[in-house]
Amino acid sequence: MAGKVRAKPGDLPSIGKSPTGIGGLDEITQGGLPQGRPTLLCGSAGCGKTLFGMTFLYNGAVEYNEPGVFLAFEERPDDLIKNVGSLNYDIEKLIAEKKLAIDHVELERSKIAESGEYDLEGLFIRLGFAIDSIGAKRVVVDTIETLFGGLENEQLLRSELRRLFEWLKEKGVTAVITGERGEGTLTRYGLEEYVADCVILLDNRVHDQLSTRRLRIVKYRGSAHGTNEYPFIIDEQGITVMPITSSGLHHGASNERLPSGIPDLDRMLEGKGYYKGSSILVSGMAGSGKSTVAAHFADATCAAGHRCIYFAMEESPPQIVRNMRSVGIDLQKWVDKKLLRFSARRPSLFGLETHLASMYRDVTEFDPIAVVIDPMSALLGAGVTGDVHAMVLRLVDFLKSRGVTALVTNLGVSGENVTTEIEISSLMDVWLLLYNRESNGEHNRQLYLLKSRGMAHSNQVREFIMSSDGIKLREAYVGPEGVLTGSARRAQEAKEEAAVLIRHQDIERRSRELERRRRETAAQIEILQAQLANEEAEVALLNHEGNAREDQLAADRVTMGAGRQSGARPDKPANKSKMRLDSK
Amino acid sequence: MTEQDGYNLRLYVAGQTPKSIAAIANLKKICDQHLPGRYEIEIIDLMKDPALAMRHQIVAIPTLIRQLPEPMKRIIGDLSNTERVLVGLDIQPN
């Protein structure tokens, strides 16, 4: 024992939890409602108390093998069954399987006379019998305050209610007691005095004609719990509570990358794309190509075999599919393969919190690797600016904690202005700005990667071209005249091409000239060489003739000597050598 | 005793509690005094037959139900207030 200061978790007795099976609520309550104890569920009319109770029983019977009893004071069993039939809760089947029992208590003051003392033992017997007959572990009492309208003796009722809650505890059933919200009190008749273990408040507030349901754990004895107001929704899939808060910054950081779907953009992002689990803001004016960037991302995600949810706020899914075909993206095939889910909703359909809750439900259900929200700015219509900021914060936190990559588009009223209306940019890891700039009588799209946390990225403004093969990014022409795009860029490019052509032609011309001169020179060399040869030959001839003449002269002298009889003998006949000279 | 003026009364109790015993005694006294020979009392102990509590819509104990004559009337309590019982059962006091 010495040195052991604190008991290990699990060593000390702690209260058990009875899971509700309601998405999000079990997270807030860290496991569910207090097991074997009554919980007070209060709220004004139309808050979903009855549905909440029925869901608690249905999930208990179907998912946790805990049969339940519904003690109804307000609605008849037929109506109850019909009302939750829209949620595909087959109550009749559960009743037949003895997993659920509904007991409707009719009380009408006008039909009952009171004479002397009484107690509510009849109610206890009924409830006890119902619990024992199906071995119920869960009980819903909806709404016991009706008794105050049906019976005169309030004092007695209060003591009997106290007894009822004690009795429920003794029975060991997890009970949900509903109560109507009162003026300044949680319930009209102060039920919170008796049920003190756990109190949950449901609320339905209307702001700008949009109602938002909210849930708050007012108290929970013996357990930590989330204390905020959490939005929840009721739709055909039941109740979903959005448990996230904006407090968490514990999400991990992945080094994995997800391609953006635009190869040219990937090149700007170290050639790999976005970080997995990061949030990407694409902002720009109307018609700057935000949805197309979003669709490329969705397409690339699905092409890699991952799931993606596309939250469409302004266009219907068929319209998006059709429009994206024009840039060569077929989203329908991913829808068919169940990799892409469109979740289309008008922003004005319900309040922000409800949007948040329904997105939360979609994400937890479909478990995508990436989501697209197109456009976030549409939500401005569903709440005041501060709320939108808070909502986006919560959504981004939630998505990050799940490692879901989020691409959010935002319609900026003034495309050049870097302050987005809802100031969500600080939450974002990547911010792509799309411009639609006018110059020389035309609008040209431009893309600028304003920031990209955690990677070396290009700082260049690119020209953004949408073609039937998707988005292409071109290096914008930067020159002495500034950044040129569109026709101006094309004109400048043509000008440059022409200059290059002229230069090429010049070089060709000069090299031809050189060749010509080279040949000319060669020819001249040949002529000179020929002249030289001529002269050489001439010299040789002259030399030869000179020798011959000298021979002849010598011969002539011999002949003449012989003719004068000088005594010298001629060796050869002189005419013979003369003949040879003539022949030459 | 005829069908028209005969009283068919059911008293629901839960065990032998003081309130139940008082209710039975009070009912008998009132009937003897105001409906001599024209009544029939059936006492149902829900402790022995709890299923009837739900079937017959019993909340408070004791509950007295006038089965006949129509329409059905309900009185809850130990029936110590005779006047209220008479009004509740629609009996003209003798």
**ipTM here:** 0.91
Rounded mean pLDDT, B10-15:
91
| pLDDT level of residue A16 (50, 70, 90 thresholds) | confident
pTM of the model: 0.68
Among A107, A120, A130, the residue with its CB nearest the CB of B54 is: A130
Rounded Cα distance, A210 and A226, in Å: 25
Q: What is the CATH number of the domain that holds A179?
A: 3.40.50.300
Is the Cβ pair B23, A129 closer than 8 Å? no
Q: Do A212 and A306 share a domain, yes or no?
A: no
Among A112, A116, A147, the residue with its CB nearest the CB of B81 is: A116
- Under DSSP, the state recorded for A106 is P
Question: Are the C-beta atoms of A389 and A424 separated by less than 8 Å?
Answer: yes
| pLDDT in the model for residue A376 | 81
Q: Is A95 exposed, middle or buried (0-12, 13-18, 19+ CB in 10 A)?
A: middle
Is the Cβ pair A116, B79 closer than 8 Å? yes
Q: Is residue B31 situated within a structural domain?
A: yes
Q: Do A62 and A121 share a domain, yes or no?
A: yes
Q: Do A187 and A269 share a domain, yes or no?
A: no
| pLDDT level of residue A9 (50, 70, 90 thresholds) | low
Does the beta carbon of A112 lie under 8 angstroms from any beta carbon of chain B?
yes
Rounded Cα distance, A52 and A144, in Å: 15
| pLDDT in the model for residue A448 | 83
Is the Cβ pair A116, B54 closer than 8 Å? no
How is residue A449 written in tokens?
């990667």
What per-residue string of b and e applies to A499-516 under the rule 16 or more CB within 10 Å gives b? eeeeeeeeeeeeeeeeee
| pLDDT in the model for residue A471 | 84
- Nearest-neighbour CA in chain A from B78: distance (Å): 5
Listed residues A475, A495, A512: the one ending a domain: A475
Cβ neighbors of B74 (< 8 A, separation 6 or more) are A111, A112, A113, B63, B64, B65, B66, B88
User: Is the model more confident about A284 or about A426?
Assistant: A284
| pLDDT in the model for residue A385 | 63
Does the beta carbon of A151 lie under 8 angstroms from any beta carbon of chain B?
yes
Whether A250 shows a pLDDT value over 70: the answer reads: no
Is the Cβ pair A119, B63 closer than 8 Å? no
Nearest Cα neighbor of A214 from A389, A44, A386 is: A44
How much is the mean pLDDT over chain A?
Answer: 83
| pLDDT level of residue A486 (50, 70, 90 thresholds) | confident
Rounded mean pLDDT, B36-59:
89
| Residue-by-residue DSSP string for A146-190 | HHHHH-S-HHHHHHHHHHHHHHHHHHT-EEEEEEE--SSSSSTT-
Q: Do A262 and A141 share a domain, yes or no?
A: no
Q: Is residue A584 situated within a structural domain?
A: no
Is the Cβ pair B19, A117 closer than 8 Å? yes
Instruction: Write out the residue range of the structural domain in which residue B23 sits.
Output: 13-70
Rounded Cα distance, A434 and A271, in Å: 20
Rounded mean pLDDT, A117-126:
90
Q: Is residue A498 situated within a structural domain?
A: no
Q: What is the amino acid identity at position A398?
A: F
Does the beta carbon of A110 lie under 8 angstroms from any beta carbon of chain B?
no
Residues of B in contact with A130 (CB under 8 A): 54
| pLDDT level of residue A400 (50, 70, 90 thresholds) | confident
Rounded Cα distance, B7 and A574, in Å: 199
- Under DSSP, the state recorded for B17 is -
Nearest chain A residue to B47 by CA: give it.
A125
- Nearest-neighbour CA in chain A from B2: distance (Å): 26
Domain count, chain A: 2
Rounded Cα distance, A126 and A132, in Å: 10
Is the Cβ pair B77, A114 closer than 8 Å? yes
Q: Do A205 and A349 share a domain, yes or no?
A: no
Q: Is residue B82 situated within a structural domain?
A: no
Rounded mean pLDDT, A440-446:
80
Nearest chain A residue to B13 by CA: give it.
A122
Q: Is residue A73 situated within a structural domain?
A: yes
Residues of B in contact with A120 (CB under 8 A): 59-61
Q: Is residue B62 situated within a structural domain?
A: yes
Q: Is A279 helix (H, G, I), strand (E, B) or coil?
A: strand
Does the beta carbon of B12 lie under 8 angstroms from any beta carbon of chain A?
yes
| pLDDT level of residue A125 (50, 70, 90 thresholds) | very high
For an interface test with A, the pick among B46, B52, B54 (most A C-beta atoms closer than 10 Å) comes out as: B54
Count how many Cα atoms sit within 13 Å of the Cα of residue A383 in the half-sphere of its side chain.
22
- Nearest-neighbour CA in chain A from B37: distance (Å): 23
Whether A515 shows a pLDDT value over 90: the answer reads: yes
C-alpha angle A109-A111-A116 in degrees, rounded to nearest 5: 70
| Residue-by-residue DSSP string for A211-257 | EEEEEEEEEETTS----SEEEEEEETTEEEE----S----------E
Is the Cβ pair B14, A121 closer than 8 Å? yes
| pLDDT in the model for residue A383 | 62
Q: Is A283 helix (H, G, I), strand (E, B) or coil?
A: strand
Rounded mean pLDDT, A191-217:
80
Rounded Cα distance, A137 and A56, in Å: 11
Is the Cβ pair A117, B78 closer than 8 Å? yes
Rounded mean pLDDT, B28-38:
87
Percent of chain B with pLDDT over 70: 93
Whether B2 shows a pLDDT value over 50: the answer reads: no
Among B61, B80, B82, the residue with its CB nearest the CB of A122 is: B61
For residue A449, report the phi and psi dihedrals to the nearest 5 degrees. Answer: -90, 95
For an interface test with A, the pick among B9, B10, B52, B59 (most A C-beta atoms closer than 10 Å) comes out as: B59
Rounded Cα distance, A291 and A429, in Å: 19
Does the beta carbon of B93 lie under 8 angstroms from any beta carbon of chain A?
no
Residues of B in contact with A76 (CB under 8 A): none
Rounded mean pLDDT, A167-190:
86
Rounded Cα distance, A434 and A463, in Å: 10
- Nearest-neighbour CA in chain B from A64: distance (Å): 27
Domain count, chain B: 1
Among A107, A115, A126, the residue with its CB nearest the CB of B54 is: A126
Count how many Cα atoms sit within 13 Å of the Cα of residue A35 in the half-sphere of its side chain.
13
Does the beta carbon of B85 lie under 8 angstroms from any beta carbon of chain A?
yes
Residues of B in contact with A150 (CB under 8 A): 59
Is the Cβ pair A115, B81 closer than 8 Å? yes
Count how many Cα atoms sit within 13 Å of the Cα of residue B60 in the half-sphere of its side chain.
31
Distances (CA, A) of A422 to A15, A284, A356, A377, B83: 44, 13, 16, 8, 73
| pLDDT level of residue A246 (50, 70, 90 thresholds) | very low
Angle between helix A77-85 and A49-63 (nearest 10) = 80
Q: Which residue has the tokens 């969705």?
A: A298
Question: Are the C-beta atoms of B59 and A122 separated by less than 8 Å?
Answer: yes
Rounded Cα distance, A28 and A20, in Å: 11
- Under DSSP, the state recorded for A12 is S
Q: Which residue has the tokens 């997800």?
A: A258
Q: Is residue B75 situated within a structural domain?
A: no
| pLDDT in the model for residue B89 | 83
Nearest Cα neighbor of A145 from A195, A213, A204 is: A195
How is residue B21 written in tokens?
């015993």
Q: Is A485 exposed, middle or buried (0-12, 13-18, 19+ CB in 10 A)?
A: buried
Stretch among A75-89, A220-234, A504-518 having the lowest mean pLDDT: A220-234
Q: Which residue has the tokens 């003051």?
A: A109
Rounded Cα distance, A471 and A480, in Å: 28
Is the Cβ pair B61, A114 closer than 8 Å? no
Stretch among A146-160, A408-422, A533-547, B36-50 having the lowest mean pLDDT: A408-422
Q: Do A192 and A300 share a domain, yes or no?
A: no
Is the Cβ pair A112, B87 closer than 8 Å? no
Q: Is A247 exposed, middle or buried (0-12, 13-18, 19+ CB in 10 A)?
A: exposed
Among B26, B53, B77, the residue with its CB nearest the CB of A126 is: B53
Among B12, B14, B77, the residue with its CB nearest the CB of A115 is: B77
Three-state secondary structure of A72-85: ECCCCHHHHHHHHH
Rounded mean pLDDT, A358-374:
89
* Listed ranges A107-111, A301-305, B86-90; the one with the highest mean pLDDT: A301-305
Distances (CA, A) of A568 to A118, A504, A562, A564, A565: 198, 88, 6, 9, 7
Q: Is residue A301 situated within a structural domain?
A: yes
> Within 10 Å of residue A267's Cβ, how many Cβ atoms?
16
* Listed ranges A155-169, A502-516, B71-85; the one with the highest mean pLDDT: A502-516
Instruction: Write out the residue range of the structural domain in which residue A191 sits.
Output: 17-241
| pLDDT in the model for residue B4 | 53
Residues of A in contact with B84 (CB under 8 A): 113-115
Whether B93 shows a pLDDT value over 90: the answer reads: no
Distances (CA, A) of A409 to A335, A347, A412, A434: 21, 14, 9, 10
- Nearest-neighbour CA in chain A from B88: distance (Å): 6
The alpha carbon torsion through A128, A134, A139, A140 (nearest 10 deg) reads -110
Nearest chain B residue to A114 by CA: give it.
B76
Question: Are the C-beta atoms of A240 and A233 separated by less than 8 Å?
Answer: yes
Beta-carbon contacts below 8 Å between A and B: 97
| pLDDT level of residue A146 (50, 70, 90 thresholds) | confident
Count how many Cα atoms sit within 13 Å of the Cα of residue B52 in the half-sphere of its side chain.
14
Rounded Cα distance, A196 and A161, in Å: 13
| pLDDT in the model for residue A418 | 46
Residues of B in contact with A103 (CB under 8 A): 54
Q: Is residue B63 situated within a structural domain?
A: yes
Q: Which helix (H) or strand (E) holds A546?
A: helix A486-563
Q: Is residue B93 situated within a structural domain?
A: no
Is the Cβ pair B53, A114 closer than 8 Å? no
Does the beta carbon of B65 lie under 8 angstroms from any beta carbon of chain A?
no
Is the Cβ pair B85, A115 closer than 8 Å? yes
For residue A197, report the phi and psi dihedrals to the nearest 5 degrees. Answer: -75, -45
| pLDDT in the model for residue A533 | 94
Among B19, B50, B88, the residue with its CB nearest the CB of A118 is: B19
| pLDDT in the model for residue A140 | 93
| pLDDT in the model for residue A584 | 44
User: Is the model more confident about A249 or about A104?
Assistant: A104
| pLDDT in the model for residue A5 | 56
Does the beta carbon of A95 lie under 8 angstroms from any beta carbon of chain B?
no
| pLDDT in the model for residue A2 | 46
